Chains A and B, each alone.
Chain A
Amino acid sequence: MHSFGYRANALLTYALTILALMCTIASLSDNFNFPSPSAEIQVLNFNWFQKQPDGNDEVSFTMNITADLQSLFTWNTKQLFIFVAAEYETPQNSLNQVSLWDAIIPAKEHAKFWFQIANKYRFTDQGSNLRGKEFNLTLHWHVMPKTGKMLADKLVMSGFRLPEEYR
């Protein structure tokens, strides 16, 4: 009855149950972190702006991203996935979200940064509606935990406008 194997089995079951409980608590402890991230994006220059042969508008620009996301890191954070998306409305589509640039931040030390980059992914519209279009640039972040619930949030920066003419 109360053999070596029986005791080992009981211990393993109990230990794993407690481990699962610990991971749950660790994941819940993220709720006590109230982050105060800050970010700013500036559009420096429109490099080019064209209508592609397939009829879709495409634009390329250079932007300046400054952000301090250190407060998002907790002890249960594996990494931060951040990306900048352009958001705008067209007569055809109620919402267009186009991801322009992304990065993975592996540690808290790298979470305060300054980048000057051109868009990494193509900023293409579905159709030809981009001339003179107003758009938002949104910095999104996804907190990837070591275990448990994934968190996501964003900072919206509005008031950007594309040129009236192709160039």
Chain B
Amino acid sequence: MDWQGQKQAELWMQILLLVFSVGALATGYIIGSFRMMILIYAGGVVFTTLVTVPNWPFFNRHLLKWLDPSEAEKHPKPQKAVVSKDKKKSSKKRELDQNHPTVNGMEVPA
């Protein structure tokens, strides 16, 4: 699952469960059946599981495009020697910034 897919899966999971719970509560209350509410909600949970848990193809529409290795070599990383006098933390951070790609302007969690 790609980054966009993860975001969508999480969003859909919450929306679907909320919609099903509200629907189940309303139906149960109106027809006066607690059992019906539980059944509808259980069905909703199963449906949501099927939609958001497996790695469906539609969650993989925004695959990362990694640079070709030969291409990457043409743009060498900045010299580490420059930052070696700084504290370890800052050097690590900069390294991370360089190595992680960004996709479609979305921030990538570090």
Partner-B contacts on A (CB < 8 A): 2, 4, 7-8, 10-11, 14-15, 18-19, 21-22, 25-26, 29, 74-76, 146
Inter-chain contact A11/B24, CB cutoff 8 Å:
no
Inter-chain contact A4/B13, CB cutoff 8 Å:
no
Determine the main DSSP class of A at the interface with B: helix
Q: Chain A residue with minimal CB distance to B44? A: A15
Asked whether A15 and B17 contact (CB < 8 A) given A22-B25, A25-B25, A26-B25, the answer is yes
Task: Please list 8 pairs of residues, one from A and one from B, whose beta carbons are closer than 8 Å in the complex, sorted by A's number.
Answer: A4-B53, A7-B13, A11-B45, A11-B48, A18-B18, A18-B21, A22-B25, A26-B28
Asked whether A2 and B1 contact (CB < 8 A) given A10-B13, A22-B21, A25-B25, the answer is yes
Inter-chain contact B34/A4, CB cutoff 8 Å:
no
Q: Please give the distance in Å from B61's CB to the nearest CB on chain A.
A: 16
Inter-chain contact B10/A8, CB cutoff 8 Å:
no
Q: Please give the distance in Å from A146's CB to the nearest CB on chain B.
A: 5
Residue B32 at the chain A interface, CB threshold 8 Å:
yes
- Alpha-carbon separation in the docked complex, A22 to B44 (Å): 14
Asked whether A22 and B48 contact (CB < 8 A) given A11-B13, A11-B53, the answer is no
- Alpha-carbon separation in the docked complex, A18 to B9 (Å): 18
The interface residues of chain B lying within 8 Å CB-to-CB of A4 are: 53-55
